[in-house]
Amino acid sequence: MKKKNLIPGSPIFIRIFKEPPELELWVKKERTYVLYKSFLVCDMSGDIGPKLKEGDRQAPEGFYRVGVEQMNPWSKHHLSFNLGFPNQFDRCHKRTGSALMVHGKCNSIGCFAMANYRMEEIYTIANAALSGCQGSFAVHIFPFRMTKKNMLLHRGKWDSFWHNLKEGYDIFEKTHIPPTVLVKNCRYVFGQ
C-alpha cells in the first residue's frame, strides 16, 4: 500500500470476475478508487451465470455489501466474509442460498476461495476499512469483464441480466467510483 501511496483504513471496493477467476481490491485515494491488487481466485464452483437456488453449487453474480457483522475471523475456512446473498434483487427473483462467502482455503461449493495467504491480505485491508470510516464496502460480482466483445461472445439466456450488470460495471469503469446500487421493479438501478 505504501508503494501506491494508499492509507490503511481507507475505504475499499471489491470486484470479482468468474472468468478469468480473479478478485480485484480497490482502495480510495482522494476522490476515486485505485487498484491495489488483483488476486487469483483459488477455487469457485459452478459456471458463469447467477446463483438460483440453495444447493446448486453456483457462485452468485450481482451487487452486494459487506458490513462488520459479516466478517468472520473464526471461519472454518481460515478467514471469511459473507457476501449477503440473497440481496434484495435475488429475493425479488426468488433466488435462494445462504453462507456465500469469500474465504481462505482452496475449496468451494458456491463461494470464492482465495487460499489462506491471499485471504489474510484481503481480510486485513477490509477489516481496517470497516474499523476506519467505512460502514460497509461494495462487492460487485461479474461473470466476466463486461466488454462489448465478451458480451457478444457469451450471448445466451442471461443476456438481460448481464446487460443490467453491465450498467453498473460501465459506471465504475468510467468514473472509478463505485455506483450507488438500488433495486426497483426487480432490476438494479444505479446512481453516483
Provide the CB-side half-sphere exposure for 184 (13 A, CA): 6
* 3-state class (DSSP) for residue 17: strand
The question of whether 163 is a catalytic residue gets the answer no
Q: State how beta strands 136-144 and 71-72 pair.
A: unpaired
DSSP symbols for 27-66 = EEETTEEEEEEEEE--EE-S-SS---STTS-----EEEEE
Which candidate in 42, 77, 78, 103 is catalytic?
103
- Catalytic status, residue 92: no
Alpha-carbon dihedral 111, 89, 92, 187, rounded to 10 degrees: -140
Catalytic position from the list 93, 111, 133, 154: 111
Extract the C-alpha cell encoding 76.
Answer: 472454518
Q: Which residues are catalytic?
A: 103, 111
